[in-house]
Amino acid sequence: MKNLIVDATNEKILLKIIYLNKSYTNEHINSSENFDKLSILIFDFLKKNKIDLNEISNIFVNRGPGKFSGIRSSISVCKAISIAKNINLYGFTSSQISGNNYNKVLDLLKKEVLIRDLIKPIYL
């Protein structure tokens, strides 16, 4: 099961793939230019790591708190990909991943504490 994590709540847009004992990470400047092409950044990230979108089982998106533009863009793009490819979509908050430990998201999934599909943003 391959998992995509998208976090655009901070100064950088973080993209991360976690599966088995492997993980791949990429960061981009949190800017309006990158929000406009967030889907392209995600697809390029997957292609660079030789992962087909059809291999993704879950998408996790940080719903905040954070910057309005980053949260809205990341939730919208992740929701669109989720619907188009029938991929599970989950929201998490920054407080749930203390110390930027994104592996914690998988533990939260197992504990069934993540919000699925209807993701309510938390803005600063």
Of 68, 60, 124, 123, which Cα lies nearest the Cα of 96?
A: 60
Report pLDDT for 118: 67
pLDDT digits over 58-101, tens only?
999 999 998 888 899 999 999 999 999 999 999 999 999 877 78
Cβ-Cβ contacts under 8 Å for 49 (sequence gap 6 or more): 17, 24
pLDDT digits over 14-68, tens only?
999 999 889 999 999 888 888 889 999 999 999 999 999 999 999 999 999 988 8
pTM flag (> 0.85): yes
